[in-house]
Structure 1
Amino acid sequence: MSFFWRLTCSATLENIEIFADAIEEHVLSVGWFETTNPEIWMVEATVRKEPEMAFLQQLISEAAAQHKVPSPHLHVEKLPDADWLEQTWKNFPPLEIARFYIYGSHAKGEIPEGLIGMEINAATAFGSGEHQTTTGCLETLCDFMDAGIQVKNPLDMGCGSGVLAMAVTKLWQMPVLAVDNDPESVRVAAQNAATNKCEQLMHTLCNEGFEGDVVQKYGPFDLIVANILAGPLCDMAPQMVANTIKGGRIVLSGLLTRQIDEVAAAYEVAGATLVSVKNVGDWATLSLIK
């Protein structure tokens, strides 16, 4: 049996992203969530091989020192992959989000009338549909459909398990490019596309953002969806806008409501205008137009 490791540390909401960002490039997936104490939030990351705890703790400590905040202690727990993934996914019931009904094979049944079904199973890629950022993106995409916005050449940047890319193909019946820098995410996204019978419309690609010219060869795009984190979204702003056609739409999520101005400003400088904001809990989804 192979194993995963789960890394956790706690901090206040104001500081939590500092520590998630500090280890993001060295883990398979990372996120943060509120605990039973509303003043304390938890960073949770997963890795495939035994983590270098001294190195990761050093990253946490250096980030704390840079921002002049207390340094949390990083904890690690070994998890059997099959048991952990199975149990984690079974904790989530089917979800109804806008036009979509998202479920795992363990909850397979009749799809409610009028909803679009998407089967997402336990896997090592981030994104099963339950996070508030995914909700915001799915609702925004459905708003576009309701408004009669046409999409011909879309991109899902940082696709994770492929939920948003599949949503685009099911709404507009158009080919979509799904890009992620993690090979496992790309594998799982392709597997999910096959499960949901949209593999003919969904092309998966492993690439570090817009680096090189491989992504540009598919563009420019009239819709880009990116559910990542605020820092990478800001870093990608010039390339994201440059690879969008004039009048094209950009949907951004993975940011907290307090980060809206920061992210919107980065895209305004790059040439995109903020059109709308959708808040789901503490998380925001931005809709912009070039």
Structure 2
Amino acid sequence: MPTFTALTTLPGQAAAEAFVEALERLEPEPTGVGIFEIEDGSGFWEVGGYFAEAPDAAALDLLAAAFGARTFVVSEVPETDWVAHVKRELAPVTAGRFFVYGSHDAGRVPEGAVALLIEAAMAFGTGHHGTTKGCLQALDRLVAAGVEARIAADIGCGTAVLAMAAARIWGHPVLASDIDPVAVEVAQANAAANGLADKVICLEAAGFDHPRLREAAPFDLIFANILKGPLVELAPDMAATCATGGHVILSGLLNDQAEAVLTAYDAAGFGLCNRVEIGEWTTLTLLKPHG
């Protein structure tokens, strides 16, 4: 069965949120809708819907006109066996001592590598993306420098690959949280598949808003591989929950967004330890200094 997408943009968050609610009431009804800010300083937001049959072009035009949005771009998405596709396309990833692989590549794990199994069906956050790979490399550098994090957290954990890496290296429990309940379920499944169900504690939470996170603080290490906006907003909470002498590893940043994040974390009292670019993505390792 084919899937159709319909995408448009319009200025302003409030207008975009109202627009997406109207889109949900369209006939034929979309199977899913999405909204996100276009982070280019334009103030525009993208709104889109998925449809099991071709959407009514006239209805889309009327809806766009009513909200001052641009004309919808409608596309048919080709049918793809995504799991088979991912198995073909995603080779194992090496990031320092870490080796991230799917079960179809179990025979390729190098001797002595810290192996992390992420199934192809759960491909987001496997280590292939520049942000995840950058975070794993940053963790590898901290380990090489003799750092040990007894208390660690992975905020916005996705597949929990970063939490699992820390738990595998140091053997201490790691809290892995995500705002998305599906991501939490995926994280739990991955932890179990890697024999880390008792070491990676998966929580549903926005930022640090969970009693387990508040009780566990201060953290020796915090991962946050999310987006620029949430990272900037979390800077004060990072400072409040990171231990003196502790580190934070931040990513999810386009290269030209890194300075804004560094400014926010400098104001919160952090110093830059390391900055790495992989393609168009930047990973930052920061220290909360003593005194």
> Does TM, normalized by the shorter one, top 0.5?
yes
Identify the residue that residue 127 of structure 1 maps to in structure 2.
Answer: 125
Deviation for aligned residue 1:72: 8.7
2:102–2:117 CA contact under 8 A, matched in 1: yes
Alignment-mate amino acid for residue 289 of structure 1: L
Residue 51 (structure 1) aligned to one of 17, 22, 32: 32
Aligned residues: 250
What's the % identity of the aligned pairs?
38
Hey, what does 1:197 align to over in structure 2?
195
Match of 1:253 in 2: 251
User: What amino acid does structure 2 have at the position aligned with 1:261?
Assistant: E
Q: Which runs of 4+ in 1 moved over 4 A?
A: 3-11, 70-81
TM-aligned CA distance change 1:7 to 1:239, over 3 Å: farther
For 2:126 and 2:110, locate their aligned partners in 1 and report how far apart those are by CA, in whole Å: 19
Contact 1:90 1:106 in 2 (8 A): no
Q: Which amino acid aligns with 2:265?
A: Y
Task: Give the deviation of 1:88 after TM superposition.
Answer: 2.7
Provide Cα deviations, 1:71-95, integer angstroms capped at 9, x if missing partner: 69555656879x3234234310111
What corresponds to 1:264 in structure 2? 262
Cross-structure match for 1:239: 237
Q: CA deviation at 1:60?
A: 6.5
In terms of mean alpha carbon deviation, does 123-132 or 217-226 score higher?
A: 123-132
Q: 1:222 to 1:78 in 2, by over 3 A?
A: same
Partner in structure 1 of residue 43 of structure 2: 66
Map residues 198-213 of structure 1 onto 2, 5 A cutoff.
198-211=196-209, 213=211
- Deviation per CA, 1:166-209: give whole Å up to 9, x if none: 11011111110000011111111111111111111111001111
The residue identity in structure 1 corresponding to 2:43 is Q
Secondary structure at the aligned position of 2:126 is classed as coil
**CA separation of 1:108 and 1:50: change in aligned 2, threshold 3 A:** same
In 2: Cα distance, 1:264 partner to 1:95 partner: 28
State the TM-score, normalized to the length of structure 1: 0.75
Alignment CA distance shift 1:113-1:182 (3 Å): same
In 2, distance between residues paired with 1:211 and 1:222? 18
- Tell me which amino acid in the other structure corresponds to 1:168: A
SS at match of 1:178: strand
SS in 1 for 2:32: coil
The CA deviation string for residues 95-125 of structure 1, in whole angstroms up to 9 with x for no partner, is: 1221011111122214212211111103457
Separation of aligned partners in 2, 1:217 and 1:166: 21
**Secondary structure of 2:202's aligned partner:** strand
**Which consecutive residues of structure 2, in runs of 5 or more, have no partner in the other structure?**
21-29, 46-68
Deviation at residue 227 of structure 1 after TM alignment? 0.6
The two structures, once aligned, show a CA RMSD in angstroms of 3.5
* Within-5 A mapping of 1:141-152: 141-152=139-150
**Cα distance, 1:66 vs. partner?**
2.6
Cα shift readout 1:16-42 (whole Å, capped 9, x = no counterpart): xx99xx89xx9xxxxxxxxxxxxxxxx
